[in-house]
Amino acid sequence: MECDRVDRENTIERYLAGALPAAEKEEWELHYFGCDRCARKLETLSLVREPLQSMAAGIRREIPEPSKSRTWIWAAAGIAAALLLAVGLGRLLPPKPAPPRVANSNGPQAPRLEDLAQLEPPAYDPRTLRGVDSKSETQFRDAMVFYQQRDYPKAIAGLRAATELDPHAAAPRFFLGASYLLSGNTADGIRELRAVADGPSPFREEAAFDLAKGYLRQGDRDSALRELRRVVALHGDLRDQAEQLTARISGSR
Amino acid sequence: MHLTPQVGSLQELAARIEKGDAGAEEDFFRLFEGRVRAFAIANSGDRDLADDLVQEALWAVIRALRNGQVRQPDQLTSFIFGTARNLLNDRLRSRGREKLDQLSQQPDIARADVEQRRFERHHAACQAIRMLEPHERAVLLLTLVDGLGAEEVAARLGITPESVRQRKSRAIRKLSGILAASSQNPAPRLLRSIDM
């Protein structure tokens, strides 16, 4: 069994729910007894599953309800567009026999490149970065308050000031790059993330991964794949994710 | 498959145990404790039994290593899995027929230690979950507890399946880091005497 397949097929979740078929279950058990990375994920998820269940009601309250009115408007717009298209096409094109059922595939569609390029805000844990009493650190922490509020323009201003105070500090530059990407400024995001990815900092792996996302936004598959190969070669926490994204890019539209 | 024990290779660890290195036994225990516990919980749903099995299975393997009974050290992980599975099957078969298990004969202080550790693990897990972002908690709940796939979670949250995968991956990494930091506890984990 490959680690990539474990993530792709939600093997751990199905295992913990008792939903794996017997043969697959034994294959998975043999795998994780010999695989540190998968074992670590399993141990973490096994540990939090019960507490998550006990906290479920509170967590569900945090999940925003999809807006019904907006859904209705978009659904109506979609139906109207489909009708117009059907009427228009019907006038323009000669009637055709119904397509074979196989063309009406219900299977998983190839992912779109712009979907693969979506970036989740990199996690920031203030605990691990506190304690360095410098102007740059103070500036960085202040800027990260805006980052956590997803106010990226203000975060960018503060993080730029922090990088000017300490041009060699990796954390402000990494989050500056991420903030640029998250605010839609891909070129500047790529520039800052490249500086971090090419350096020796602990953010190197994550910077290379996010850099790949930046290149995907620009439609530059080759550069994205090159960065993902770097991530894989680092053998870090993002290796599985990089391998999965590589596979999805290969099958993307 | 990624085998990266921080204590050197498994073969080296096995060799150190065979030479009677107590530190190697602790390293070995720490390395496999979580997976044996997860295995037992997934197969029995019984956390008491899981805590017992961790002790019993890993001690059995340590004894075998000490006595040079593991003939193929390069297949040590399969040996550990097989030992855990056999012992678990024995336990499940004898459930209800035996009132006393081996651990119940341990001094109360040992049982109290096991329960204290379980409480600490549960408490640490709750704390770790609270430290996640709300959207990370939501993804974990929907995938791990509700059993939804990435596409279903994406539809529920109004985001893309790729974002779901990213959020989940980040949440797991965050949780692993927080839980690893909170488990830096020097208290002894090995509860049994090797000679019993």
Residue B95, beta-bridge partner list: B98
* Structural contact between residues B139 and B167, judged by C-beta atoms closer than 8 angstroms: yes
Residues in B touching A62 (Cβ below 8 Å): 134, 137-138
Provide the pLDDT for residue A158: 93
Distance CA A152, CA A157 (A): 9
* Residue with more model confidence, A79 or B160: B160
Q: Do B143 and A10 touch (CB under 8 A)?
A: yes
pLDDT of A88 higher than 80: no
Q: What is the DSSP string of chain B?
A: -----TTS-HHHHHHHHHTT-HHHHHHHHHHHHHHHHHHHHHHH--HHHHHHHHHHHHHHHHHHHHTT--S-GGGHHHHHHHHHHHHHHHHHHHBTTBS--TGGGS-HHHHHHHHHHHHHHHHHHHHHHHTS-HHHHHHHIIIIIS---HHHHHHHHTS-HHHHHHHHHHHHHHHHHHHHHHT---S----S-TT-
User: In chain B, positions 60-89, which contact chain A (CB-CB < 8 Å)?
Assistant: 77-78, 80-81, 85
- Asked if residue A231 has pLDDT above 80, the reply is yes
A160 interfaces chain B, CB cutoff of 8 Å: no
For residues B162 and A90, the answer to whether their CB atoms sit within 8 Å is: no
Q: Do A48 and B163 touch (CB under 8 A)?
A: no
- Percent of chain B past pLDDT 70, that is, above it, reads 79
Interface A–B counts its CB contacts (< 8 A) at 155
Alpha-carbon A213 to chain mean position = 9
**Res B94: pLDDT:** 76
| pLDDT above 90 for A42 | yes
Q: Across residues B32-56, what is the average pLDDT?
A: 89
Poorest-pLDDT segment among A104-108, A185-189, B19-23: A104-108
- Residue A137 CA to residue A51 CA, distance in Å, equals 35
Chain B residues touching residue A59 (CB < 8 angstroms): 134, 137-138, 141
pLDDT at B27 over 80: yes
CB A115 within 8 A of CB B160: yes
Q: Which residue has the tokens 């995968």?
A: B165
With 90 as the cut, is the pLDDT of residue A8 above it? no
Name the percent of chain A in helix, strand, coil, to the closest 5: 70, 0, 30
Q: What is the pTM of this model?
A: 0.59
* B40 in contact with chain A, both atoms CB, cutoff 8 A: no
Least confident of A96-100, A168-172, A201-205, A242-246: A96-100
Residue B131 with chain A: CB contacts under 8 Å:
125
Of A10, A36, A56, the CB nearest to B141: A56
Tokens of A119: 């970036």
Where does the pLDDT of residue B147 fall: very low under 50, low under 70, confident under 90, or very high at 90 and above? confident
Tokens 């298990």 correspond to B101
| Count of residues in chain A | 253
pLDDT of residue A116: 85
Q: Residue B110 — pLDDT band, cuts 50, 70, 90?
A: low
Q: What is the mean pLDDT of chain B?
A: 80
pLDDT of residue B196: 36
The verdict on a CB contact (< 8 Å) between B3 and A35 is yes
Cα angle B70, B72, B75; round to 5 = 105
Asked if the Cβ–Cβ distance from B156 to A63 is below 8 Å, we say: yes
Mean pLDDT across the stretch B84-110? 67
The pLDDT of residue B100: 45
Cβ–Cβ below 8 Å for A51 and B172: no
CA separation for the pair A209, B46 (Å, rounded): 40
* Residues from chain B contacting residue A51 (CB–CB below 8 Å): 122, 125-126, 129
Cβ-based contacts of B160 with chain A (< 8 Å) = 115, 118
For residue B165, pLDDT over 80 is answered with yes
Give the mean pLDDT of B166-179. 89
Beta carbons within 8 Å of A1's beta carbon, 6+ residues apart: A11, A27, A28, A30, A31, B1
Q: Which of residues 47-66 of A touch B (CB under 8 A)?
A: 47-56, 59-60, 62-64, 66
Q: Residues A132-152: pLDDT tens digits?
A: 457 888 889 899 888 888 888
Q: CA-to-CA distance for A5 and A220, rounded, in angstroms?
A: 26
Residue A179, CA distances (Å) to A147, A186, A210, B98, B109 in order: 7, 10, 11, 61, 53
- How many C-beta atoms surround the C-beta of residue A229 within 10 A? 15
